[in-house]
Amino acid sequence: MKIHILGIAGTFMGGIAQLAKAKGIEVSGSDKAIYPPMSTQLEQAGIEVEPLDSLAFLEKSPDQVVIGNALSRGQPAVEATLNAQQPYTSGPQWLAENILQDRWVVAVAGTHGKTTTSSMVAWILEYAGLNPGFLIGGVPENFGVSARLGESPFFVVEADEYDSAFFDKRSKFVHYHPRTCVLNNLEFDHADIFHDLAAIQTQFHHLVRTVPGNGLIVMPKADEALQEVIAKGGWTPIQTSGNEGMASVDWAYELLQPDGSAFAVSFHGKRVGQVQWTLRGVHNVKNGLHAMAAAVHCGVPPEVAASALCEFKGVKRRLTLIGRGNGIALYDDFAHHPTAIATTLAGMRQSLPSNGRLIAVFEPRSNTMRMGIHRQTLPDAFKEADKVFAMIDPAWGWTLPEVDFSVPVEVVNDYDRLVELLVQSLQAGDEVVFMSNGSFGGVPEKVKAALSD
């Protein structure tokens, strides 16, 4: 069997490629730009990548073309595929039909923490000797790859609410039919495809409808948006999570360190484990709690799950330390939603050296940000920072409401100028976090190199 993947450079579609290759399928792909880590993973897997505007793949008569959701009508490769009456499908549909059939699927959904929680679940199952498969929208440091076929019934998938393809506007996760389903949280996001929160809740309820009665849904008790989803109808047992002071939660955490680097876990009021790890932030504690609950549903003893989390190394670009120089620590982070920004900075603040400053450098380049949806909530998200640098491309057509920030903020419209300003202003003791869901123009690595010089 031969498949060709349009839009292969994305983490999800690149993961599809690796899974197909592992199954013995002949795989090729095309995209307009490809860079690490996906370029490295595809090269290591021996998968050929062509320019997106090349139509040579049709001459090879693939059995199926898998089309990524970033591609739309009018794109030459899409038009050529349709004109040739070439069989085609979406990435999520291909995954469901070729990988997830007959697997115990563990799906992790939510606005925040999907990648990290999915990585935690996969690692716990691996630590317990269950050798799971997985497809994750990032690179777990414990594995070094974003996708693996695995050799057990268990398959962990990051369950994205974004649409499946130009011809299938349902959320990706409705294809996965999980037996274990984690709903991390729910806020308004993806304003480019969802009109409001209610539209996202509808898609989440479509996911809930697919979880069997002998499955499990794990979710935070205090999340009102998710409670409204469940109120639409549910047919699956639910386990709730919260802190130890909350009443009637199934899974509870107690912070043993204010920054979340150590916490205890209770299940039905009984202490079942303790975690001490390198991660920071209460948001990661909540992620870990959900990962433990999911793994226990798969048969892992809770004390084993807790021990596994103690050895969890994190995910690339999730507060990843990329370098130190002249007493300055540089971190790379994927946070691009105000809530994610706030929780990341709050976690860093808790363990910041007494003589240090917390410097936030961000690029609001997501579709939702560029539409100005979160413009008014951004200033409060940075309240834990001591200084903020914002890279705003003039082409985005909006300005930052600087007067609403409670901390000093400097807006820059050029990547090289941003590097120059950072190198001039940083001082020993500073912790710097670069926040973007893109490559940030190479700024983090350029600052690292400049400090080394």
The string of pLDDT tens digits covering residues 253-306 is 999 998 899 999 999 999 999 999 989 888 899 999 999 999 999 999 999 999
Count the domains in the chain: 3
Q: Supply angle C-alpha 431, 409, 349, rounded to 5.
A: 30
Q: Answer yes or no: do 84 and 161 share one domain.
A: no
372: pLDDT confidence band, cut at 50, 70 and 90?
low
- Please report the pLDDT score of residue 336 as a whole number: 67
Select from 62, 90, 118 the last residue of a domain: 90
- CATH number of the domain that 19 lies in? 3.40.50.720
Q: Answer yes or no: do 129 and 275 share one domain.
A: yes
- Please report the pLDDT score of residue 351 as a whole number: 77
Strands 154-158 and 163-165 turn out to be: unpaired
Q: What is the pLDDT of residues 307-326, one digit of tens each?
A: 999 999 988 877 788 888 78
Assigned domain for 25 exists: yes
Q: Answer yes or no: do 169 and 303 share one domain.
A: yes
- Please report the pLDDT score of residue 303 as a whole number: 97
Q: Answer yes or no: do 274 and 330 share one domain.
A: no
Alpha-carbon torsion, ordered 275, 277, 281, 287, to 10 deg: -60
Q: Answer yes or no: do 153 and 299 share one domain.
A: yes
Q: Answer yes or no: do 41 and 186 share one domain.
A: no
Q: Answer yes or no: do 114 and 262 share one domain.
A: yes
Q: How many percent of the chain have pLDDT more than 70?
A: 96
- Please report the pLDDT score of residue 277 as a whole number: 95
- CATH number of the domain that 235 lies in? 3.40.1190.10
C-alpha to C-alpha distances, 253 to 42, 115, 267, 348, 370, nearest whole angstrom: 39, 21, 9, 19, 36
Spatial distance between the Cα atoms of 157 and 170, rounded to a whole number of angstroms: 17
Assigned domain for 95 exists: no
Name the residue range of residue 202's domain.
100-310
114: pLDDT confidence band, cut at 50, 70 and 90?
very high
Backbone angles phi, psi at 451, to 5 degrees: -70, -35
- Which of 2-16, 124-138, 266-280, 377-391 bottoms out in mean pLDDT, i.e. has the lowest? 377-391
Spatial distance between the Cα atoms of 449 and 442, rounded to a whole number of angstroms: 11
Q: Answer yes or no: do 109 and 85 share one domain.
A: no
Assigned domain for 315 exists: no
Assigned domain for 120 exists: yes
Backbone angles phi, psi at 143, to 5 degrees: -115, -35
The arithmetic mean of pLDDT across residues 43-70, rounded, is 93
- Please report the pLDDT score of residue 402 as a whole number: 64
Q: Answer yes or no: do 243 and 387 share one domain.
A: no
Res 340 pLDDT > 90: no
Of 19, 189, 52, give the one whose Cα is nearest residue 114: 189
Spatial distance between the Cα atoms of 211 and 220, rounded to a whole number of angstroms: 17
pLDDT, the chain, mean: 90
The arithmetic mean of pLDDT across residues 329-351, rounded, is 83
- Please report the pLDDT score of residue 413 as a whole number: 87
364: pLDDT confidence band, cut at 50, 70 and 90?
confident
Q: What is the pLDDT of residues 185-216, one digit of tens each?
A: 998 776 677 788 999 999 999 999 999 999 99
- CATH number of the domain that 368 lies in? 3.90.190.20
C-alpha to C-alpha distances, 174 to 65, 109, 138, 203, nearest whole angstrom: 21, 11, 20, 8
366: pLDDT confidence band, cut at 50, 70 and 90?
low
Q: What is the pLDDT of residues 380-421, one digit of tens each?
A: 888 999 999 988 887 777 677 666 788 898 888 889 999 999
Angle between helices 338-350 and 282-297 (to 10 degrees): 100
- Asked whether the beta carbons of 369 and 336 are under 8 A apart, the reply is yes
Token representation of residue 166: 């130009």
Q: Answer yes or no: do 19 and 153 share one domain.
A: no
Q: Answer yes or no: do 215 and 326 share one domain.
A: no
Q: What is the pLDDT of residues 137-169, one digit of tens each?
A: 888 999 999 999 999 999 999 999 999 999 999
Select from 310, 331, 360 the last residue of a domain: 310
pTM of the entire predicted model: 0.82
Q: Answer yes or no: do 138 and 8 share one domain.
A: no
Spatial distance between the Cα atoms of 185 and 164, rounded to a whole number of angstroms: 21
- Please report the pLDDT score of residue 323 as a whole number: 86
- Which of 122-131, 135-144, 338-347 bottoms out in mean pLDDT, i.e. has the lowest? 338-347
Please give the order of strands across the beta sheet that includes 48-51.
48-51, 26-31, 2-6, 64-67, 88-90
Residue showing tokens 């039905």: 268
Res 2 pLDDT > 90: yes
Assigned domain for 81 exists: yes
Assigned domain for 284 exists: yes
Assigned domain for 132 exists: yes
Select from 310, 342, 362 the last residue of a domain: 310
Please give the order of strands across the beta sheet that includes 409-412.
320-325, 328-333, 431-435, 358-362, 387-391, 409-412
Residue type, 453: D
